[in-house]
Structure 1
Amino acid sequence: MVKSMTGFGRAEANQGAYKILVEMKSVNHRFCEFNIRMPKQFLVLEEKIKKAVGSYLQRGRVEMFITVEGQNIHEHSLDVDWQLLSAYIDVLHKVKDKHQISGSIDINDILKLENVFTIREAQTGLEEIEKVLLEQVRLATEQLVSMRTLEGEQLKEDIFVHLTYIESMARELQQFAPTVVEAYRKRLEKKMKDFLDSQIDEQRIMAEAAIFADRADINEELKRIHSHLGQFTQSLHSREPVGRKLDFLVQELNREVNTIGSKANDAKIANLVVEMKACLEKIKEQVQNIE
């Protein structure tokens, strides 16, 4: 089943005390890559989230946005480094006495002292939140995969149209190619007639025509094109990710068509080559977005 690498998924859970929203989108990428944005207190779940999403996807860059809102999700506590605070106050008194500074030590000054007070945030109900969050990740991922599958089917249909067109042009080349050699032989014969005043060297004409036929022979290239097209069609019906294989086959098809173009000694063949390359370029654009 051909899947696109472009998709979007969204899932939301409202548990009363808290609300979880998961949004994710994916675009084409050579490998499978994740970029997850979520509250820092839930970063401990990042690897579990990647594993859950990765079980559905093989390729693509995935961006996820996770928000968790609600009350009583966090408990805050205040830690005081009493030893450091005492040291600060002792030093302040010594500075006052030594330099005869008047005034008392203000509580606001104490609160500004570095590293004395630390606010700690403890998360409550992590197991329950984790279960709901991972469930929303799963639902959002399935929605994203559904969209990727739908777009993949559209890509496949479009590619089949271009493959059929290339196949028809390859058959036309196969039927037309032999006539090019015969046309060359006749042109050569006419030129020799005009130049040699009707005295024709048949052996020379046959030799020249044989050299031309060997140089312009495109049968091997056409065989490989038909083979690649068959593999391409077979791959499009596979249930495994085939994006990389299709990308390779497009390159191989393009190479064979370029070789035919370099051998072309006929305007019609040259035109067919241009048309085939245009189709391959369109297929290449579509393949770039296939998983």
Structure 2
Amino acid sequence: MIKSMTGFGNAGFENEQMMIHVEVKSLNSKFLDLSIRSPRQFSDKEHEIRNVVQGVLDRGKVSVSIEFLSKSSKDLPVSINEELFETFYKKFKEMAQSVGDDSNDIFKLALQAPNVINNVTSEEKDEEQEWGMIKKVLSEALGNCNKFRVDEGASLEEKLKSNIETIAEGLSDIVKEEGQRKDRIKQKIRNHFSEWLDENSFDANRFEQELIYYFEKLDITEELVRLDTHLKYFSKIMEEDKNQGKKLGFISQEIGREINTIGSKANDAGIQKYVILMKDELEKIKEQSMNVL
């Protein structure tokens, strides 16, 4: 089963205390290239988010956006030590009066003084409960993205099968054309050498060796057999459960190598048209394989 690396999924949750929305997007990449946008109070959860994402999507250029809104008006992301603030304010004011300064920045200075404003602890905000809900919504969004990948992969698989079938048909046509090509080569040699052989003496054994060498250089039987093997192996890999993308990429390179060799060694216009057709289909396969997980 083919799975695409292109995907999208979102999920949300809302009640009287909070609102959560998670969006996941993915594109093709050789590895897991993850970018995370989450609320500041959950910045320490990035490693856990990465593990959750990798457990579902495995690899790809993945973007995760997490939005969280607390609906409680008293639920501030920070705590303010009012007694310490008043102490700093009075002290700064006394110091300003002692030097005859009427600065209007005393309030700001007191608010920015050490330990006046602190981040709210997990216990005060029940942050773990909120994170548990966020993780649940994240898992749902990842599941939706994964389903998108599966659906996209089914369409991709049909295209790849069609491309492989077209190349296989081209191979079959070349096999049929190969017999005629050999006949044309033999006839060409006869026409070129018949008159020369009548007028000149020659070493028959040496001439036979040269002909054998010549035919071996033009013979494409091994390339045809290997290409057929690669095409069948490509189809077999597509039926595997996971991680076919890299394998299909490697097999595509081998298919291309055999097609190029066939075109080069055959040196025949009748075969070349099928080679061009197969190369065109192979380019489509290479482009599509890059998006296979």
Q: TM-score range by the shorter chain?
A: 0.7 to 0.9
Which is further off, 41-50 or 81-90?
81-90
2:61 is the counterpart of 1:61:
yes
Per the alignment, do residues 200 and 12 of structure 1 end up closer, same or farther by CA in structure 2, a change over 3 Å counting?
Answer: farther
- Matched with 2:245 is 243
Describe the SS at the equivalent of 2:267. Answer: coil
- Matched with 1:19 is 19
2:107 is the counterpart of 1:111:
yes
Which is further off, 81-90 or 56-65?
81-90
Describe the SS at the equivalent of 2:56. Answer: coil
Identity %: 31
Counterpart of 1:219 (choices 210, 218, 221) is 221
RMSD, aligned α-carbons: 2.7
1:210-246 CA deviation, whole Å, 9 max, x = no partner?
2321111111111211111111111100012110000
CA contact (8 A) 1:2 1:156 kept: yes
Describe the SS at the equivalent of 1:172. Answer: helix
- Matched with 2:7 is 7
- Matched with 2:138 is 137
Which residues of 2 match residues 139-178 of structure 1 at below 5 A? 139-178=140-179
Which is further off, 212-221 or 247-256?
212-221
Once residues 172 and 203 of structure 2 are traced to their aligned partners in structure 1, the CA distance between those partners, rounded to angstroms, is: 32
CA contact (8 A) 1:74 1:121 kept: no
Please report how far the alpha carbon of residue 35 of structure 1 lies from its aligned counterpart in structure 2 after TM superposition: 0.7
Counterpart of 1:121 (choices 115, 119, 122) is 119
Where do 5+ consecutive residues of structure 2 fail to align?
Answer: none
Once residues 276 and 24 of structure 1 are traced to their aligned partners in structure 2, the CA distance between those partners, rounded to angstroms, is: 37
Which residues of 2 match residues 187-206 of structure 1 at below 5 A? 187-194=188-195, 203=204, 206=208
Counterpart amino acid of residue 28 in structure 2: N
CA contact (8 A) 1:189 1:205 kept: no
CA contact (8 A) 1:28 1:60 kept: yes
Equivalent residues, number: 283
Counterpart amino acid of residue 138 in structure 1: S
Describe the SS at the equivalent of 1:240. Answer: coil
Describe the SS at the equivalent of 1:74. Answer: coil
Counterpart amino acid of residue 10 in structure 2: R
Counterpart amino acid of residue 36 in structure 1: I
Please report how far the alpha carbon of residue 15 of structure 1 lies from its aligned counterpart in structure 2 after TM superposition: 1.8
Once residues 179 and 113 of structure 2 are traced to their aligned partners in structure 1, the CA distance between those partners, rounded to angstroms, is: 91
- Matched with 1:100 is none
Counterpart amino acid of residue 121 in structure 1: N
1:19-70 CA deviation, whole Å, 9 max, x = no partner?
0000111000001121110111111222222212211122211101110112
- Matched with 1:99 is none
- Matched with 2:263 is 261
1:258-283 CA deviation, whole Å, 9 max, x = no partner?
11122122101111111111010001
Counterpart amino acid of residue 113 in structure 2: V
Counterpart amino acid of residue 71 in structure 1: K
Counterpart of 1:284 (choices 269, 283, 286) is 286
Counterpart amino acid of residue 128 in structure 1: Q
Per the alignment, do residues 175 and 206 of structure 1 end up closer, same or farther by CA in structure 2, a change over 3 Å counting?
Answer: farther
**TM-score of the two chains, using structure 1 as the length reference:** 0.87
Once residues 202 and 267 of structure 1 are traced to their aligned partners in structure 2, the CA distance between those partners, rounded to angstroms, is: 33
Counterpart amino acid of residue 285 in structure 2: I
CA contact (8 A) 2:41 2:77 kept: no
Describe the SS at the equivalent of 2:2. Answer: coil
CA contact (8 A) 1:221 1:256 kept: yes
Please report how far the alpha carbon of residue 104 of structure 1 lies from its aligned counterpart in structure 2 after TM superposition: 4.6
Per the alignment, do residues 68 and 243 of structure 1 end up closer, same or farther by CA in structure 2, a change over 3 Å counting?
Answer: same
Describe the SS at the equivalent of 1:12. Answer: strand
Please report how far the alpha carbon of residue 18 of structure 1 lies from its aligned counterpart in structure 2 after TM superposition: 0.9
Per the alignment, do residues 141 and 194 of structure 1 end up closer, same or farther by CA in structure 2, a change over 3 Å counting?
Answer: same
Counterpart amino acid of residue 154 in structure 2: E
Once residues 28 and 276 of structure 1 are traced to their aligned partners in structure 2, the CA distance between those partners, rounded to angstroms, is: 25
